Structure 1
Amino acid sequence: MDIAIFILIILFASILQTSTGFGFSIMATPFLLLLFNPVEAIQINLVLSIVISFAMIRTIHKDIDYQLLKRFSLGSVIGLPIGILILLFVDVDTLKIGIGLLILGLTLLLIIRFRVNRTSKRDITAGSISGALTSSIGMPGPPLLLYLSGTDTDKARLRSTTLAFYLLIYTVSLVLQISTIGTSISTWTLSLYGLPLVFAGLYIGQKLYHKINQQQFRLITYIILILTGLYLLFGSA
């Protein structure tokens, strides 16, 4: 039963990540936490997310906003070590509840068409928050998704820039976790088992991407954010 659940989690999350540019961590991490201990779940998520981003980077590089990517990366330098400290010293359930409330509140603002202008400082701030969430709970997506949706970034640029950023931040986060917390053989064995599912998801997700228009993309974004916020809020209560 656990194997069937693992297959469904990785396959569906890979399809979502490939078709939208986000969603693997948002969908996979909560359910992986039900099957494995927190460190294993987060590191499996990191390894497979790196594979997805690396596999796609050659096909999406032309749509990357490199200035935005640079600012996100600069911000992540600040956020990543903060996330490690959070993972080591802060109660994770309390953190999840706080993040869940924040995501739900900000998603409501997006639904009612609240918009924000992009600035260099806001780009860096979004990157730093994403970095902290990556190394603490393995979820870099929500702050970037909220920020870029609030600035009406088109789907191609959002998908490409976030995937490029994930390739960097997941790799650095995994190295930080291994050097400070350690890893296990089972983490890498399970990640290896997940690779065929990831590549199947890459194929299906790429086909779906070309069928999703901007309005549908925005609707999917809101649904994912709401489900993430609710999970973090009630799954930790």
Structure 2
Amino acid sequence: MTFVTVSLLLLVIALGTYFQTVTGFGLAMIVIGISSGAELTSVPFIATVVSLISLVNSAVALPKHLHHIDWRIANTTLLGIVPSSIIGVVLLNFLNTQATSILEFLLGAVIVYSGISFALRPKQRDTESSLKSFFIVGFISGLCGGLFGMPGPPVIFHLYRQPLAMPVIRNMLLLMFACTAFSRTFYEVITVGLSKDTLVISAIAVPCVAIVTLLAQRYPPPISATSMRRITFVTLVIIGLGLVIGSLKDLGFSF
């Protein structure tokens, strides 16, 4: 990879990290969406990098908060996440080789869906959903995580509707994202291995993410949290629509 490409990737990762620090989400969607749309790198490559970054962050943040996790819900959700994460990686490798435009369309559609679903504040339920629903949501999230390296939208929306304390929700999400990242990374390691570029970019990105996170916490944007979330929603929808329109043009559709 050229110096310019590496620099642009780190800039995109820094941007995604900043949004995630001040809003609580957006890292994977912004990084993967912009990198793919700008043709900086392939979806499989940047999805693996994001997974490795997520693993490092989870390894640091999660161990001290395991007592917040509702293991009955978490285990059921993970039963869906782990196998579907591997299925997602297999589909990703197939689509990246056989139908890049279709892959970009799916990626764009997921990002648009994410922006819209996050904009709609989920109404909290009075009682917990059934364990079956957690398994189904886990399976869908794992598939998204395997395909695009971003399992967030389905499981985030579902968990935020549950009558659970915020520390429980946050740490269960962290656990689920970590397990998704581990599953897809482990599968790649034992099947095709990790390229030198993947390891180098990930190694450089980890301190970049740490520095940007500290700066964002110390110097938050001079606007309200609500306004910042709206900016993030709009950003995600624009990125997603750009990918969808570009992929449709590649498939022969005219506008």
* Structure 1 length-normalised TM: 0.77
Instruction: Name which of structure 1's ranges 121-130 and 75-84 shifts more when overlaid on structure 2.
Output: 75-84
- Aligned-residue offset at 1:174: 0.5
The corresponding residue for 2:84 is: 79
State whether residues 33 and 108 of structure 2, in contact with CA within 8 Å, keep that contact through their aligned partners in structure 1.
Answer: no
The corresponding residue for 2:48 is: 43
1:23 to 18, 26, 37: 26
- Aligned-residue offset at 1:170: 0.4
Q: How many aligned residue pairs are there?
A: 236
Could you report, residue by residue, the CA deviation over 1:4-40 in whole angstroms, capped at 9, with x for unpaired residues?
Answer: 4223222232334445543221121223333223332
2:195 to 164, 171, 184: 184
The corresponding residue for 2:12 is: 9
State whether residues 46 and 170 of structure 1, in contact with CA within 8 Å, keep that contact through their aligned partners in structure 2.
Answer: yes
Q: Which runs of 5+ in 1 are unaligned?
A: none
State whether residues 53 and 202 of structure 2, in contact with CA within 8 Å, keep that contact through their aligned partners in structure 1.
Answer: yes
Could you report, residue by residue, the CA deviation over 1:123-163 in whole angstroms, capped at 9, with x for unpaired residues?
Answer: 11111111112222212122223333455866544432211
Change over 3 Å in CA distance of 1:183–1:56 after alignment to 2: same
Change over 3 Å in CA distance of 1:53–1:190 after alignment to 2: same
2:152 to 125, 137, 141: 141
- Aligned-residue offset at 1:225: 5.4
Aligned AA (1:9) = V
Percent same amino acid among aligned pairs?
24
Which residues of 2 match residues 162-181 of structure 1 at below 5 A?
Answer: 162-181=173-192
What is the CA–CA distance in structure 1 between the aligned matches of 2:100 and 2:187, rounded to whole Å?
18
State whether residues 20 and 159 of structure 1, in contact with CA within 8 Å, keep that contact through their aligned partners in structure 2.
Answer: no
**1:127 equivalenced with 2:138 (yes/no):** yes
State whether residues 122 and 157 of structure 2, in contact with CA within 8 Å, keep that contact through their aligned partners in structure 1.
Answer: no
Q: Which runs of 5+ in 2 are unaligned?
A: 249-255
Give the number of the structure whose alpha-carbon radius of gyration is greater: 2
- Aligned-residue offset at 1:197: 0.5
* Structure 2 length-normalised TM: 0.73
